[in-house]
Structure 1
Amino acid sequence: MNEATSWNRGSFAAALTTQGRVVGALMMRELHTRYGRDNIGYLWLFGEPLMLAVVIALLHSGGGESLGDINPVAFSVVGYTIFIMFRGIVNRSDGALESNLPLLYHRMVTVFDITLARALIEAAGTIMAFTVLFGLCMVVGFTEFPPEPLFILLGIVFVFWMSFGLSLIITGITYENRLLGRLVHPMTYFMIPLSGAFFRVSWVPRPWRDYLLYNPLPQIFEMIRYGAFESCTLEFVDFQYIVEFLLVLTLLGLLSVRAVTRRVHLN
């Protein structure tokens, strides 16, 4: 019994290590394909989200007064920079399978690995951009050191989890349906006013607030702001609902990937 358990654990660890190497190789391939080595090369990984977030921060720098300890620039950096991760992961999932179809000739490469590698790249760039911009906000005096940094990290993990779950679904349903693929990008723009990235949930009157909270993103951004700003609270955050929603989303994503894997034909 003990030998069988030890063997199973060893096999699982070996398989996990192998898949980790596969995902790492896919990430390096994606980075080289997307950015190459010209100009600043791989630095575009966080250069793109950094530029987008800087533009949004500058737009908020000239208007509005601070609400307590919440500066408009720091508020927009926290919201939009992390929303870029959601938008990037979801948008990149459209067409992910078609552009990487030859890789499935390799037995160890799966649709899940391809989608995960792309999501991790987007997350890495966004987190670096967020760290740089929030650090600059602290240096220039727009905000203080986060009172609860672990909640920022937890919120980023939840945003990544939700984005990845959606990307699995989109990868599966858009493989043979280009019409649905064309709706992905507009959908991410429609999500901006529904995400809570640019407003606090307490600012939304009832009953619209209750409807809004069915979407876990505003709750997650409330969690991130609670970690970043002293005056923010967890009043509208339901951790159990968020986790249950994301578990169901992930299950649907895995079923979508499983279904599309059966329909992929390599010539």
Structure 2
Amino acid sequence: MSTTFTVPPRPSLWAGLAVQIRVIGALILREMHTRYGRDNIGYLWMIAEPLMLGSVIALLHSGSPAHDGVSAVAFTVVGYCIFIMFRGIVNRSEGAFESNVPLLYHHQVTMFDVTIARAILEGAGTFLSFLVLLIIVISLGYVGFPVRPLYLIMAIGYMLWISTALSLMIVAGTYENTALEKLVHPFTYFTIPISASFYQMAWLPKYYRDILGWIPLPHIFEMARYGMFPGMNLEYVDMTYLTGFCMVTTLLGLLLMNTSRERIHLH
């Protein structure tokens, strides 16, 4: 008598994607509750924290004169708020493995899901705080509405992309490596002067512009200012290079994340 075994059908791509979205959504809610709780203003801290940082920096520049017809306050809000997204996502990736290893007992949860959930939460908080500050500075007359909003949104999207890709590499690289873990926060501070978040590339000598052109952040900030202010241009933005850099960084992050799985020990 022969026995016939039926191989269960493999789940479709869409079914797997739906599961992944539900997992990431649950991780975002867990991270929000763990980080902010429900005391005081609760989840509003997600917006309030970067909003306070951006407001303080904007106030410090409130007495500075306009440059090329652009208010120093508006220039600072655009630059610093977008940089907060980069700093927040990258800094939060440090030590993410150790603090979330228990979640890996659930076979549907991976460190990729945890990293993406953290990046989305941090990116959403900084984006909303940027919108609030932008509405305030527009209402106060420091600047008009974005002249090319699509480019401004693209710049924020690229910042979310490159920050998430770097966080994948950092999450994998800092697992059981405390020395590398301690370098993450200084790294984000050292990137401020080379990010072009507080200056335009046109203000620099050609020698320094050529060097900074190899770094993706100046491309993003030049694109953001082109989308926000009139009179700006994309002379120092290379979309092809920026996209390629983000793709390669993402690929390296995924490869490092995959190899790090072998070093995870669940007890």
TM-score w.r.t. structure 1 length?
A: 0.95
* Residue of structure 2 equivalent to 1:260: 260
Aligned counterpart, 1:250: 250
Q: Take 2:202 and 2:18, find their aligned partners in 1: how far apart are those partners?
A: 45
Q: CA separation in 2, counterparts of 1:95 and 1:37?
A: 24
Partner of 2:70: 70
Kindly state the Cα deviation for residue 11 of structure 1 after the two structures are TM-superposed: 1.1
Which of 1 and 2 has greater Rg? 2
* Distance (whole Å) between structure 2 residues aligned to residue 262 and residue 143 of structure 1: 52
The structural deviation recorded for 1:34 is 0.4
Task: Give the distance between the partners of 2:231 and 2:133, measured in 1 at CA.
Answer: 21
Q: The residue matched to 1:219 in structure 2 has which SS?
A: helix
Measure how far apart 1:49 and its partner are. 0.3
| CA–CA distance in structure 2, aligned partners of residues 205 and 108 of structure 1 | 52
Matched, 1:34 2:35: yes
1:73 Cα shift? 0.2
Residue segments in structure 2 that go unaligned for 5+ positions in a row: 1-8
> Offset at 1:262?
1.5
Instruction: Give the equivalent residue in structure 2 for 1:25.
Output: 26
1:44-123 equivalence runs, <5 A:
44-63=45-64, 65-123=65-123
- The residue that corresponds to 1:229 in the other structure is 229
- How far 1:149 sits from its partner (Å)? 0.3
Q: For 2:240 and 2:177, how far apart are their aligned partners in 1?
A: 34
Report the counterpart of residue 136 of structure 2 in structure 1: 136
1:169 match: 169
Give the counterpart letter for 1:60 in structure 2. H
Q: What's the TM-score once normalised by structure 2's chain length? A: 0.95
Offset at 1:68?
3.6
Aligned length in residues? 259
Matched residue, 2:213: 213
- Structure with more helix by fraction: 1
CA offset digits 1:83-124 (Å, max 9, x no partner): 000000000000111111100000110110000000001000
Structure 2 partner of 1:178: 178
- State the 1:69 CA deviation: 3.4
1:124 paired residue number: 124
Aligned to 2:189: 189
Measured after TM superposition, the shift of residue 176 of structure 1 is: 1.4
* Alignment correspondent of 1:4: none
**What is the SS of the residue equivalent to 1:31?**
helix
Once residues 180 and 103 of structure 1 are traced to their aligned partners in structure 2, the CA distance between those partners, rounded to angstroms, is: 23
* Counterpart-to-counterpart distance in 2, 1:137 and 1:147: 15
Unaligned runs of 5+ in 1: 1-6
CA distance in 2, matches of 1:257, 1:250: 10
Alpha-carbon distance in 2 for matches of 1:191, 1:49: 18
| Runs of 4+ more than 6 Å apart | none
